[in-house]
Amino acid sequence: MITFIIHIDKHNNFNKIFIPLAIKFLEILKKNNASIAKNDSNKKDARKIIFGSHAKPEYWKLTSSEEDIIVNLEPLYKKEFREKNKSYIDLLKSRTTFDYCSLNSEFLYNHFYFKVPPHFVYSQKDSFNNIEKKYDNLFVGSRNKKRLDFLKKISETKLKLFTSFRIFSKNLDLAIKQSKIYLHLDYDENTVFNNFKFAQCSKYETIYAGHSGNIIDNPHMKEMLNLSLFKQDDEMLSGIENLISNQKDYLKALNEQKKISSIYEDEFNSFIKSFLKLS
């Protein structure tokens, strides 16, 4: 039986964001009776599953083997990204890749497509049903003109907005719990649906809402269009205001989100089970 070891690249502090997803991988691997070794294990024949290797691809080219697995959550389909990250592209082509987006496929060799599974961003010990919703909208992410322009529009309404960038783990967990909406804003026009942020949010009593992006890999999200997902800024602003003021639509969106989250949970379990059969 092949043994797996989970690794998260430590060259970039922002790779902390992958810790909850790595824990979810570990959970489902164990559920499917995979053999797991600790990160500090000297087990030389163990197969690494590596998160965040885009931060230092040269390091992982030297310290991983062709049998190891790179989990890619970066937009290889964007020409600008590929031009700036040629070493990373070379690394992916020389390793097995678990990839989140079908549009990346043409730039990979040995790869498997997976849906990012729903997961809590911090370990849950107590019920959070009684936590007060202090904010209407939570936005976490980097800023550019497109995003800043929309955040300004929100600030000009009566909606309560909380924004942050360097927020992880327990702090992010609390911020999501205290917010009615976990807001996603596309960084540019050439963007796919943000599976990662949806997965971060969908196990909470908080709605993922914002730009829909390209939903080519997420047909279930058609149910959310014009309810919590929107193509245009004006539609999104009025849609978010409606979700906050209209409890019926808010609960409808939350219910649909839970249904989709359950589907994605099952799909990820099936993905891991199928991969293990091939290993």
Fold match between domain 3-113 and domain 135-263: yes
pLDDT digits (tens, 9 = 90+) for 150-205: 999 999 999 999 999 889 999 999 999 999 999 999 999 999 999 999 999 999 99
Architecture (CATH level 2) of domain 3-113? 3-Layer(aba) Sandwich (3.40)
Residue matched to tokens 């959970």: 27
pLDDT digits (tens, 9 = 90+) for 226-250: 999 999 999 999 999 999 999 999 9
Residue matched to tokens 């062709």: 66
pLDDT confidence tier of residue 128, bands split at 50, 70 and 90: low
- Do the beta carbons of residue 71 and residue 49 sit within 8 Å? yes
pLDDT at site 19 = 97
- Do the beta carbons of residue 47 and residue 69 sit within 8 Å? yes
Rg of the Cα atoms in the chain = 19
pLDDT digits (tens, 9 = 90+) for 37-86: 987 667 778 999 999 999 999 999 999 999 999 999 999 999 999 999 99
Per-residue 3-state assignment (H helix, E strand, C coil) for 107-149: HCCCEEECCCCCCCCCCCCCCCCCCCCCEEEEEECCCCHHHHH
Residue 129 predicted with pLDDT over 70: no
Q: Where are the domains of the chain?
A: 3-113, 135-263
At the topology level of CATH, where does 135-263 sit?
Rossmann fold (3.40.50)
- Do the beta carbons of residue 214 and residue 192 sit within 8 Å? yes
